[in-house]
């Protein structure tokens, strides 16, 4: 006998079981995607030049949302936080800022007229800023960070809206750490999060 003749026609009960199975599989997939994007990681796209040379306009990144559930951000981490909760205001609800952590909770931050950054009156040795900072902003005076506050800067210091203009960023609005650059493919790799 041919194979076609051996197969029995599907009953309505079997069809219903198959449809329910497909629906359940689709729902499980949506649930997994939702849980991953809510608690594990999410994709974001860099818009602007404030993090050049580390990140370029239109770089596609994966944000690690798990790490900061277990520990606080470290100095020089590249963090993501929502635009609408940063105090800058004005843009789309789902817009995020990407900046580098410079000052940690409890520290005193000051930037002198030459663009040198001081943490607790000690010159910060860092190489992320691509040029001399022209405007120290409100950090020209000492800024004492609260217990959950971070001082953040863009790497392209003269083309960045950051803590010099808007003040410190609260810990509770930090979404995560920029972890992996996935596009453009020629730049695929881990984001520079260490000194």
- Separation of alpha carbons 22 and 65, rounded Å: 30
67 given a catalytic annotation: no
Catalytic pick from 12, 21, 47, 50?
Answer: 50
Which one-letter DSSP state was computed for residue 40?
I
- Answer yes or no: are the C-beta atoms of 137 and 154 closer than 8 Å: no
- Separation of alpha carbons 181 and 192, rounded Å: 10
- Answer yes or no: are the C-beta atoms of 101 and 75 closer than 8 Å: yes
Catalytic pick from 65, 86, 99, 177?
Answer: 99
- Answer yes or no: are the C-beta atoms of 153 and 164 closer than 8 Å: yes
Which of 57, 79, 49 minimizes the C-alpha distance to 67?
A: 79
50 given a catalytic annotation: yes
Query: Going by C-beta distance under 8 Å and a sequence separation of 6 or more, which residues neighbour residue 43?
Result: 60, 61, 62, 63, 182
Active-site residues: which are they? 50, 99
């Amino acid at each position: 006998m041919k194979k076609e003749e051996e197969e029995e026609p599907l009953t309505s009960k079997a069809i219903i079981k198959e449809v329910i199975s497909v629906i359940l599989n689709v729902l499980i997939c949506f649930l997994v995607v939702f849980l991953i994007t809510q608690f594990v990681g999410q994709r974001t796209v860099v818009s602007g030049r404030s993090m050049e040379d580390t990140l370029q306009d239109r770089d596609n990144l994966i944000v690690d949302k798990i790490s900061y559930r277990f520990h606080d951000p470290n100095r020089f981490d590249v963090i993501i936080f929502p635009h609408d909760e940063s105090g800058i205001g004005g843009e789309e609800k789902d817009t995020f800022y990407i900046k580098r952590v410079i000052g940690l909770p409890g520290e005193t931050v000051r930037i002198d007229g030459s663009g040198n950054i001081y943490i607790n009156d000690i010159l910060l040795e860092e190489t992320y800023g691509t040029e001399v900072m022209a405007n120290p902003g409100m950090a020209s005076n000492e800024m004492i960070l609260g217990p959950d506050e971070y001082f953040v800067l863009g790497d392209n210091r003269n083309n960045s809206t950051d803590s010099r203009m808007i003040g410190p960023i609260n810990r509770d609005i930090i979404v995560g750490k920029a972890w992996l650059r996935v596009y453009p493919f020629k730049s695929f790799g881990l984001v520079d999060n260490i000194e």
